Amino acid sequence: MTLDFSKNNGLIPTIIQDNQSQQVLMLGYMNEEAFQKTQEEKIVTFFSRSKNRLWTKGETSGNFLKVVSIKEDCDQDALLIKVLPNGPTCHNGTTSCFDNEPQFSFLNELEKVIEERISNPSSDSYVASLFQKGLNKIAQKVGEEAVELVIEAKDDNADLFLNEAADLLFHYLVLLKAKGFNLENVEMILKDRMKNK
């Protein structure tokens, strides 16, 4: 990888993105030394313009950014680094410096569709009809789909297994909504557990 450090006083803008959720977490700057350190240690290190020194993200908070991949842009003067964050990225305690809400890409969009179908029910909406039947019916569907997934897991038909997995995940999202929760609530619990292990 050949980067052009001749612009911006030797600093390259670096976008940090969560490798799992695809959420953009922050923007920092790297000089050549910070870039080399990041490559060698596989932990993101920036050049801090305010401190005028190398700064490893998480050196104070412990919320390090473990490098998964590094890509340069077409002009070799900007970077995209995908990471596995160890806790919140923003100093304000939020997942991202840009937005408080985690991004689950398609699953996040699916949650919005489910919420829309519940808020504005129509006669041909499966989600609306299931939601109208109440919490017990929604929970029962999650149980049924879980059993069907377990049955398919014991066979060798990948297509059937993945379809049952999709059915379970879909109904699980409906159940979360029915209980007043979403994936963000579950994510925070998993992140807390990961920190304690």
For residue 109, give Cα distances in angstroms to 19, 23, 48, 106, 141: 18, 13, 35, 5, 22
Query: What's the per-residue H, E or C state across 59-76?
Result: CCCCCCEEEEEEEECCCC
Number of domains the chain is built from: 2
Domain assignment present for 191: yes
Domain assignment present for 94: no
Expressed as residue numbers, the domain containing 173 is: 106-196
Q: What is the pLDDT of residue 60?
A: 86
Q: Are residues 185 and 112 in the same domain?
A: yes
User: For position 169, which CATH number holds?
Assistant: 1.10.287.1080
CA–chain centroid gap for 173, Å, is: 16
Domain assignment present for 81: yes
User: What are 46-83's pLDDT values in tens digits?
Assistant: 999 999 999 999 998 889 999 999 999 999 999 999 99
Q: What is the pLDDT of residue 54?
A: 96
- Is pTM beyond 0.75? Reply is no
User: For position 23, which CATH number holds?
Assistant: 3.10.20.810
Name the band, by pLDDT with cuts 50, 70 and 90, for residue 99.
Answer: low
Q: Are residues 38 and 80 in the same domain?
A: yes
Q: Are residues 157 and 126 in the same domain?
A: yes
Q: Are residues 130 and 171 in the same domain?
A: yes
What whole-number distance in Å separates Cα of residue 107 and Cα of residue 113? 10
Q: Are residues 70 and 151 in the same domain?
A: no
**pLDDT for 193 beyond 90:** no
Name the band, by pLDDT with cuts 50, 70 and 90, for residue 161.
Answer: very high
